[in-house]
Amino acid sequence: MAKISKTAAKDRIEFLKKELEQHNYNYYVLNNPTITDFEFDLLMGELQGLEKRFPEFATEDSPTRHVGSDLSSAAGSDFVQVAHRWPMLSLGNTYDKEELLEFDRRIARTVSGPYAFSCELKFDGTAICLTYRDGQLLRALTRGDGTKGDDVTRNVVNIPAIPKQLHGESIPLEFEIRGEIYMPYAAFERLNAERIDDGQDPFANPRNAASGSLKLQDPAEMRTRGLDCVLYHLLGEDLPFKTHTEALQAARGWGLPISEYSRRVESIEAALDYIEEWDTRRKRLPFATDGIVIKVDELELQRQLGFTAKSPRWATAWKFKPEQALTPLLSIDYQVGRTGAVTPVANLEPVQLSGTVVKRASLHNKDQMDLLDIHIGDYVYVEKGGEIIPKITGVELSKRPADARRPVFPACCPDCGTPLVRDPDEARHYCPNQESCPVQIKGRFIHFAGRKAMDILAGEATVEMLWNRSYIHTLPDLYSLTREQLVSLDGWQEKSADNFLASLEASKQVPFERVLYALGIRHVGEQTAKTLARHFGSIDALMAAGRDDLVQIEDIGGTVADAILAWSASDAARDCVERLRAAGLQMAVTDTAGSRLSDRLEGKTVVISGNFSISREAMKALIEAHGGKNAGSLSGKTAWLLAGEKAGPEKLKKAEKLGIPVISESDFRQLIESE
Ligand code: IVH
> Is residue 196 predicted with pLDDT exceeding 80?
no
Q: Which of 37, 122, 310, 320 to mutate to test the pocket of ligand 1 (most atoms within 8 A of CB)?
A: 122
131 shares a domain with 218:
yes
Q: How many angstroms separate the alpha carbon of residue 517 from the centre of ligand 1?
A: 39
* Residue 20's CATH number: 1.10.287.610
Q: Is residue 470, in this structure, part of any structural domain at all?
A: yes
Average pLDDT of the residues in 2-29: 87
Average pLDDT of the residues in 319-327: 87
Atom of ligand 1 nearest to the CA of 307: 2
Atom of ligand 1 nearest to the CA of 67: 10
330 shares a domain with 204:
no
Atom of ligand 1 nearest to the CA of 89: 2
Percentage of residues of the chain with pLDDT beyond 90: 62
- Look at ligand 1, atom 23, and give the residue with the nearest C-alpha: 90
CB-defined site of ligand 1, < 6 Å? 89-91, 120, 122-123, 127, 180, 232-233, 293, 312, 315, 317
Please give the tally of structural domains in the chain. 5
309 shares a domain with 169:
yes
Minimum mean pLDDT among 66-70, 240-244, 578-582, 659-663: which range? 66-70
Q: How many angstroms separate the alpha carbon of residue 458 from the centre of ligand 1?
A: 45
Atom of ligand 1 nearest to the CA of 259: 15
- Look at ligand 1, atom 12, and give the residue with the nearest C-alpha: 122
Minimum mean pLDDT among 9-13, 151-155, 468-472, 620-624: which range? 620-624
> Is residue 402 predicted with pLDDT exceeding 90?
yes
Rounded to 5 degrees, φ, ψ at 291 are: 165, -165
DSSP-assigned letters across all residues of 173-198? SEEEEEEEEE--HHHHHHHHHHHHHT
Minimum mean pLDDT among 42-51, 197-206, 336-345, 401-410: which range? 197-206
Q: Which of 67, 91, 123, 234 to mutate to test the pocket of ligand 1 (most atoms within 8 A of CB)?
A: 91
- Look at ligand 1, atom 21, and give the residue with the nearest C-alpha: 127
* Residue 476's CATH number: 1.10.150.20
User: Could you tell me whether strands 605-609 and 81-83 are parallel, antiparallel, or unpaired per DSSP bridges?
Assistant: unpaired
β-bridge partners, 230: 180
Would residue 488 be called left, alpha or beta, if left means φ above 0 and alpha means ψ between -120 and 50 degrees?
A: alpha
Average pLDDT of the residues in 350-371: 86
- Cβ distance 199 to 523 under 8 Å? yes
pLDDT value at residue 489: 93
pLDDT value at residue 74: 39
- Look at ligand 1, atom 18, and give the residue with the nearest C-alpha: 122
Residue bearing the bigger pLDDT, 365 or 221: 365
Q: How many angstroms separate the alpha carbon of residue 38 from the centre of ligand 1?
A: 17
pLDDT value at residue 198: 66
Residue bearing the bigger pLDDT, 633 or 567: 567
Q: Is residue 97, in this structure, part of any structural domain at all?
A: yes
- Look at ligand 1, atom 16, and give the residue with the nearest C-alpha: 122
Average pLDDT of the residues in 55-68: 84
Average pLDDT of the residues in 257-266: 97
Distance CA 462, CA 449 (A): 11
132 shares a domain with 279:
yes
> Is residue 592 predicted with pLDDT exceeding 60?
no
pLDDT value at residue 405: 95
On average, the pLDDT of the chain sits at 90
Q: How many angstroms separate the alpha carbon of residue 289 from the centre of ligand 1?
A: 11
pLDDT value at residue 567: 94
> Is residue 282 predicted with pLDDT exceeding 60?
yes
Q: Is residue 432, in this structure, part of any structural domain at all?
A: no
Sign (positive or negative) of CA dihedral 526, 530, 535, 537: positive
* Residue 190's CATH number: 3.30.470.30
Give pTM, 2 decimals: 0.60
Q: Which of 17, 122, 148, 530 is catalytic?
A: 122
CA-based nearest residue to 358, from 382, 378, 334, 381: 382
442 is catalytic: no
665 shares a domain with 609:
yes
Atom of ligand 1 nearest to the CA of 178: 11
Q: How many angstroms separate the alpha carbon of residue 394 from the centre of ligand 1?
A: 30
103 shares a domain with 233:
yes
Atom of ligand 1 nearest to the CA of 88: 2
Q: Is residue 227, in this structure, part of any structural domain at all?
A: yes
pLDDT value at residue 471: 96
Last residue of one domain, picked from the residues 291, 319, 347: 319
pLDDT value at residue 263: 97
pLDDT value at residue 593: 45
Residue 467: Cβ within 10 Å count: 15
pLDDT value at residue 675: 54
Q: Which of 232, 234, 311, 314 to mutate to test the pocket of ligand 1 (most atoms within 8 A of CB)?
A: 232
Segments forming the whole domain that contains residue 294: 91-319
Q: What contacts 97, CB < 8 A, 6 or more positions away?
A: 272
238 shares a domain with 162:
yes
Q: Residues 450, 454, 459, 463: what is their CA dihedral angle, to the nearest 10 degrees?
A: -120
Minimum mean pLDDT among 77-81, 255-259, 359-363, 563-567: which range? 77-81
pLDDT value at residue 635: 87
* Residue 376's CATH number: 2.40.50.140
311 shares a domain with 223:
yes
Q: How many angstroms separate the alpha carbon of residue 88 from the centre of ligand 1?
A: 10
> Is residue 594 predicted with pLDDT exceeding 60?
no
pLDDT value at residue 557: 84
Last residue of one domain, picked from the residues 534, 554, 583: 583
β-bridge partners, 642: 608, 663
* Residue 643's CATH number: 3.40.50.10190
Average pLDDT of the residues in 527-533: 88
pLDDT value at residue 377: 96
- Look at ligand 1, atom 7, and give the residue with the nearest C-alpha: 91
> Is residue 11 predicted with pLDDT exceeding 50?
yes
Confidence of residue 76 (pLDDT cuts 50, 70, 90): very low
Q: How many angstroms separate the alpha carbon of residue 262 from the centre of ligand 1?
A: 13
Average pLDDT of the residues in 626-632: 85
Atom of ligand 1 nearest to the CA of 262: 15
Distance CA 278, CA 541 (A): 57
β-bridge partners, 342: 336, 429
Q: How many angstroms separate the alpha carbon of residue 126 from the centre of ligand 1?
A: 9
Q: Is residue 415, in this structure, part of any structural domain at all?
A: no
Q: Is residue 418, in this structure, part of any structural domain at all?
A: no
Confidence of residue 104 (pLDDT cuts 50, 70, 90): very high
Distance CA 123, CA 125 (A): 6
Last residue of one domain, picked from the residues 284, 319, 354: 319
- Look at ligand 1, atom 6, and give the residue with the nearest C-alpha: 122
Average pLDDT of the residues in 403-410: 95
pLDDT value at residue 72: 66
CA-based nearest residue to 538, from 629, 622, 623: 622
- Look at ligand 1, atom 22, and give the residue with the nearest C-alpha: 90
DSSP-assigned letters across all residues of 572-629? HHHHHHHHHHHHT---B--SSGGG---STTTT-EEEEESB-SS-HHHHHHHHHHTT-E
113 shares a domain with 232:
yes
Minimum mean pLDDT among 60-74, 100-114, 160-174: which range? 60-74
Residue bearing the bigger pLDDT, 431 or 22: 431
Q: Is residue 157, in this structure, part of any structural domain at all?
A: yes
Average pLDDT of the residues in 184-193: 88
296 shares a domain with 151:
yes
Distance CA 467, CA 448 (A): 14
> Is residue 457 predicted with pLDDT exceeding 50?
yes
119 shares a domain with 256:
yes
pLDDT value at residue 614: 76
Q: How many angstroms separate the alpha carbon of residue 255 from the centre of ligand 1?
A: 21
14 shares a domain with 57:
yes
> Is residue 554 predicted with pLDDT exceeding 60?
yes
Q: Is residue 222, in this structure, part of any structural domain at all?
A: yes
Average pLDDT of the residues in 237-250: 96
Residue bearing the bigger pLDDT, 489 or 385: 489
Average pLDDT of the residues in 339-367: 88
Average pLDDT of the residues in 278-293: 91
Q: Which of 141, 293, 303 to mutate to test the pocket of ligand 1 (most atoms within 8 A of CB)?
A: 293
Percentage of residues of the chain with pLDDT beyond 70: 96
